[in-house]
Amino acid sequence: MIELLGATKRFGARCAVDRLDLEVRPGELFAFLGPNGAGKTTSIKMICGLLSPTSGEARVGGRPSSSPEARRLLGYVPDQPYLYDKLTGREFLRFVVEMHDIESRRAERRILELIETFEMGDFIDELCENYSQGMKQRVVFASALVHDPKALVVDEPLVGLDPRSARIVKDLFVSQARAGCAVLMSTHLLSIAEELADRIGIVDHGRMLAVGGLAELRERLQHEGPLEDLFLKLTDDRRAGAKPASNGVAP
Amino acid sequence: MSLAIEEATPATLAPIAPDRTARALRRLRWRLTVNTLRSLFHGSRLRLSMLIGCSLVFWIGLFVLFLGGFEFIGLNDEFFHSLFEYLFSMFFLSILVMLFFSSGIITYSGLFQSREGTYLLSMPATTDRVFAYKFFEGVGLSSWGFFLLGSPLMVAYGLTIHAPALFYAMFLVYLAMFVLLAGSLGAIAAIVVANVFPRRQRSVLALSVVALLGIGAALASRLWRTPGETLSADWLGNLQNRLAFCQHPLWPSRWMSAGLMAAAKGDWFRTGYYLMVLSAHAALAYLAAAAVARDLMFRGYNLIQGGRASRRRWGLQALDNLFHRVFFFLPRPIRLLLLKDLRTFRRDPGQWSQFFIFFGLLAFYFLNIPRLGYAVQSPSWRNLVSFLNLAVTALILSTFTSRFIFPLLSLEGRNFWVLGLLPVERSQILWGKFAFSVGISLGATEALVFLSDLMLEMSPLMIALHLAMVAVLCTGLSGISVGLGARLPNLRETDPSRIAVGFGGTLNLLVSLVFIFAVVTALAVPCHLYYLGVEHADSTRLALSNASFRFWLGSALAVSLCIGVVGTILPLRIGIKAFERMEF
């Protein structure tokens, strides 16, 4: 459902993403890990059609990711979400469903479901300018799901959420994936990846260092410790200029 | 409740009809407008009444000015009428250039630099729809000033020449078409700049402004050297010849002036003809802009996103060291805070370029005073001009302090707690910002006023008086901006221009204007009456003798000093109190 095929993105002389291959299948929850500046957000922006690859391809549902058809399939929660200050949360959700041309009765039903799921009933009719960070984040999540996307891309999903909201979001990722949605989440919280992800991709300097299930990665890297140790081992090796492993882990 | 994806959702979806997304965007605009107006009406009454009151005063002031001007000139005279066609063409040509730049800049930042632009590009709308939405927002923002300036001009013109009622409706249609044309051209330029110079947009803007200023200066100099005695028939004929370039039939400004003047005379055939020419070109320009946006907007967005990567900023250590030496008397933490503001100022061409352009234009005018012949005029005339020059310098300084000093504290925004935790008293932070403002503005304004007085050949006493007044004005304007900036901060906004045009910024500008008026008038009146007395001792009843002048000048000095001290200390105290009470 979500594909990067040899995607490279150059900003002048700097290569932010280097021949990256990535696939997230329907029903899969994929965690995208990497240190700061590794190229995660650039990759996500290519998937969402906000940046076009310098070479290679980014596709959603088999369509080029910059096409309106691909955007209809996609729900996106950026690392710095945007809300209109002078709209209420409900008006914002209505705007999103109108942009996706969803039939009004079905849209209203869906909005009510999401208000209930994210427990937004107390504030959904206030202007967004009065929301706290957590309230904003919940509205943004609802807006990414209101059109029933086939692919959900989330950059740093738990920033600004209280433990209860974080729990809701985590459950939601799992339920979306189980319902057939391809979920790609980029995060620094390794525990979330460890807890939720079907597969994990570790990226650094724009290149995929390793990809696979947690058990698979442990086996390949011959490392039995927690994901944090595994992550640090991979990225530290890379910084130290170690040669790529010959055990199936990508250079 | 289930969040499962509904069965009805197909694996791939057909594209949404463009008119559906356009409708959604229209509804968004409508909803935003309604909610903004509702907030305005339910918010501060004082703010709303000030907004409406100021707009009305501005409109009526301009209307009275234009009406008086037209009646004075005598528009019914055929010769002056034809001259006015030239002047209107010139006026609309200048507006065309300004609208081109302002809508281009606003559309550029709306499409390529705003978070809303990025958000909309992630939605299933085609780029030309996103462009249309942001374009009309940009055109609205860039042209409201033109409507505010153009409508009193046209109403005054229509009343002076007894235009038919339809003229007043017609000029609004003309203005709208003109704005659409200029805005579309500006938007095309913005998208082309994003594609061709994605990392040099500021340089392109700066070079364009320099080129425009050069052309403007060459034109002004050419008009200035019009041969013949001023306002004589010969001189006016020559002036027309020199303005002939703006009457070229291909200029949209020419279509505006010819069409509007025809409407004012009731010549509906010519009115309709020029309206059709103008609207056809406006529609074509918009169509071209939409096509350019469809093909190049996303490419430009991509290039700009990649252009932010690596611009190394040099510290200019020598400048920083110099700053520490000059402001040695301030505590080091305050100096460091000021240095931060100074670096921000230095690295934002939007700030220093405006400072240099406005003060540079003033310096250019002051240097040309001998050419204007003011220096050989009577003492009372020179005295009047010197005070007017001083007032203009102070007015420009007040726009600078309102635009850049007032938002200083608001711009700390989310990092506001850093100020709260600094190991210094909070009042010192504000005193530091006050010193920064005075330090930046004092040198430039003193030099300008000194230059003006030298060119006007003023006496040493008057030069000293003016320099002292400038110091009072600088400290007062800085005190007002820093104090009100701390009393009425807008911590949510990150754009200084939006902070400056908000309620606090507007109030700051109004208080600054009242302050300037009070200080300048207090001293200008006795000086003017004295010089009138020198010239017409017998004929002017209000003229001051030498002895009474000394008394009145002393009193005026005391009054303006008092106004200066109150104007500086009172807002600062209000600001310090509010800042000390502020919770982070």
Strand order through the sheet with A74-77: A74-77, A151-155, A182-186, A29-33, A199-204, A207-212
Residue A8 at interface with chain B, using a CB cutoff of 8 Å: no
Residues of A35-59 as b/e, b for ≥16 C-beta within 10 angstroms? beebbbbbbbbbbbbbbbbbebebb
Strand order through the sheet with A55-60: A14-24, A2-11, A55-60, A63-64
Given a cut of 90, is residue B290 above it in pLDDT?
A: yes
Residue A76 at interface with chain B, using a CB cutoff of 8 Å: yes
The per-residue pLDDT for range B126-153, each reduced to its tens digit, is 888 999 999 998 888 888 888 888 889 8
Contacts of B19 in chain A (CB under 8 A): none
| Nearest beta carbon to residue A91 from set B1, B31, B118 | B31
The per-residue pLDDT for range A80-138, each reduced to its tens digit, is 888 998 899 999 999 999 988 888 899 999 999 999 988 899 999 999 988 888 888 88
Find the residue in B nearest to A173 (Cα): B3
| Nearest beta carbon to residue A71 from set B4, B122, B310 | B122
Cβ neighbours, 10 Å, residue A190: 19
The reported pLDDT for the residue numbered B132 is 93
Given a cut of 90, is residue B282 above it in pLDDT?
A: yes
How far is it, in rounded angstroms, from Cα B265 to Cα B252? 20
Given a cut of 90, is residue A162 above it in pLDDT?
A: no
Average per-residue pLDDT for chain A: 84
Residue B172 at interface with chain A, using a CB cutoff of 8 Å: no
How far is it, in rounded angstroms, from Cα A72 to Cα A171? 23
- Tell me whether residues B1 and A148 touch, CB distance under 8 A: no
Q: Which of B41, B84, B47 is nearest to B66 (CA)?
A: B84
Mean pLDDT on B157-185: 91
Q: What is the DSSP letter of A120?
A: -
Residues 248-307, chain B: which have Cβ within 8 Å of A? 298-299, 301-302, 305-307
- Tell me whether residues B5 and A179 touch, CB distance under 8 A: yes
- Tell me whether residues B122 and A49 touch, CB distance under 8 A: yes
Mean pLDDT on A157-172: 80
The DSSP secondary structure of B222-291, one letter per residue, reads: HHHT--SSTTSHHHHHHHHHHTGGGG-TT-HHHHHHHHHHHHHHT-HHHHHHHHHHHHHHHHHHHHHHHH
Residue A87 at interface with chain B, using a CB cutoff of 8 Å: yes
pLDDT grade for B8, boundaries at 50, 70 and 90: very low
- Tell me whether residues A148 and B5 touch, CB distance under 8 A: yes
Residue B309 at interface with chain A, using a CB cutoff of 8 Å: yes
For residue B424, give the H/E element and its range. none
Residues 189-248, chain A: which have Cβ within 8 Å of B? none
How far is it, in rounded angstroms, from Cα B407 to Cα B508? 10
Given a cut of 80, is residue B59 above it in pLDDT?
A: yes
The reported pLDDT for the residue numbered B491 is 75
**Choice among A122-136, A149-163, B6-20 with the minimum mean pLDDT:** B6-20
Q: Write the burial class of residue B415 (CB in 10 Å: 0-12 exposed, 13-18 middle, 19+ buried).
A: exposed
pLDDT grade for A139, boundaries at 50, 70 and 90: very high
- Total number of residues shown for chain A: 251
How far is it, in rounded angstroms, from Cα B355 to Cα B416? 27
Q: Is the ipTM of this complex over 0.90?
A: no
pLDDT grade for B101, boundaries at 50, 70 and 90: confident
Residue B9 at interface with chain A, using a CB cutoff of 8 Å: yes
Quote the tokens at residue B396.
Answer: 């420009």
Q: Which domains are seen in chain A, by residue range? A: 2-217 (3.40.50.300)
- Tell me whether residues A172 and B17 touch, CB distance under 8 A: no
Secondary-structure percent of chain B, ordered helix, strand, coil, rounded to 5: 80, 0, 20
Q: Which of B396, B397, B565, B419 is nearest to B489 (CA)?
A: B419
The reported pLDDT for the residue numbered B7 is 43
Mutate to test the interface with B, among A3, A10, A50 (most CBs of B within 10 A): A50
- Give A113→chain B minimum CA distance, Å: 7
Mean pLDDT on B429-443: 85
Integer Rg of chain B from CA = 27
Given a cut of 70, is residue A237 above it in pLDDT?
A: no
Contacts of A50 in chain B (CB under 8 A): 118, 121-122, 301, 305
Given a cut of 70, is residue B419 above it in pLDDT?
A: no
| Nearest beta carbon to residue B31 from set A72, A87, A181 | A87
User: Which residue has better confidence, B333 or B505?
Assistant: B505
Average per-residue pLDDT for chain B: 82
How far is it, in rounded angstroms, from Cα A24 to Cα A18? 18
Residues 92-151, chain B: which have Cβ within 8 Å of A? 115-116, 118-119, 121-126
Residues 105-124, chain A: which have Cβ within 8 Å of B? 106, 113, 116-117
Give yes or no for a contact between B221 and B323, defined as CB atoms under 8 angstroms apart.
no
Residue A9 at interface with chain B, using a CB cutoff of 8 Å: yes
Contacts of A177 in chain B (CB under 8 A): none
The reported pLDDT for the residue numbered B37 is 87
pLDDT grade for B6, boundaries at 50, 70 and 90: very low
- Tell me whether residues B306 and A12 touch, CB distance under 8 A: yes
The reported pLDDT for the residue numbered B52 is 83
Given a cut of 70, is residue B180 above it in pLDDT?
A: yes
Mean pLDDT on B287-293: 94
- Give A246→chain B minimum CA distance, Å: 34
Mean pLDDT on B67-94: 77
Given a cut of 70, is residue B76 above it in pLDDT?
A: no
